[in-house]
Structure 1
């Protein structure tokens, strides 16, 4: 995607799409049922979005190694194909399944029977999983909106809907169903802005953020 954004050559966009399709085959695509006595099963963990670290033993991990997966967001933004956003959302949500009560995380969302089946590696820590979690929080908007076609995709652990709009603004209802307060980044743009390359470190310019308390809903106005 970087090559496409820099050069504008369609061949690189096609190659990025081909790689994203291959990437999807390395990601758990359904809520795998673990034996009920395993730790992750007892927690009710949803392993949809766990990323395979090895296709030999099907060991799953939370997130892509030391990166946010923002190439998938850029691909979705450029092509409008929701399957790339859905893939990224699944990976983001699976990452949360690996976070321990102490806030640490390991490279384990193990649903295979190679070793430690159904474990998230409680008591351990890595470094790269903490890093990719931070990068996902920074480099992927919580809510992405195309104001020119009333399109919206939610990546964060919140629910959002458009309750009313006119030519100049739209009003969102954002609900936080979790037990934790959320700061949600919103990226809203029209077709003209979406046609521009996102580039690197675009998140530094995303100033629209809203706070939603745990279990509460807010209304937020987006200017078109």
Structure 2
């Protein structure tokens, strides 16, 4: 049985993690055994430790290239331990963030170069690409407002950047949508949660009709 790799992308505050939870609740009972849900950075002991370091609000002195390398390292370990074995077993893997996040955040946001970061992650992933990517789009100011309202006690290092940083990140994601329309599907995340879930569900059902009941 062929495995499938589905990723979710977007600025923090876009609701992608909440939508993923709701999609998992809607899975067909007979298909639930085929599904693995994971996240980046994270998913296993080593990658979760790297995640803690990356998101630590006290790690403000972290160099941009160090950040990019740590994300790539966490991603490699996550693939080896979690994603690749699941795909080999015919599982459907849903991952909250993947390479596109690094290209957008470190490549465009940190201005390290989108091509440079893509090449770094080409090495880290050995070229493994998602079969489908759901990109939850919204203006950064809306995302930051949501974060300040719903996550007042969970502000991490990346939540403290200036507006132009997030604008570069969003622009990078939108370029990705234009460049890879067959893989990356844009979902309007400015509307209600119910509507966002409906959009994501419709897209998923078009690509994996057997998965949702």
- TM-score class, shorter-chain normalisation, is 0.3 to 0.5
Higher relative contact order (CA 8 A, sep 6+): 2
Q: Give me the TM-score of the superposition, normalised by structure 1.
A: 0.32
Higher Rg of the two aligned structures: 1
- Structure 1 or 2: larger helix share? 2
Q: Give me the TM-score of the superposition, normalised by structure 2.
A: 0.34
- Structure 1 or 2: larger strand share? 1
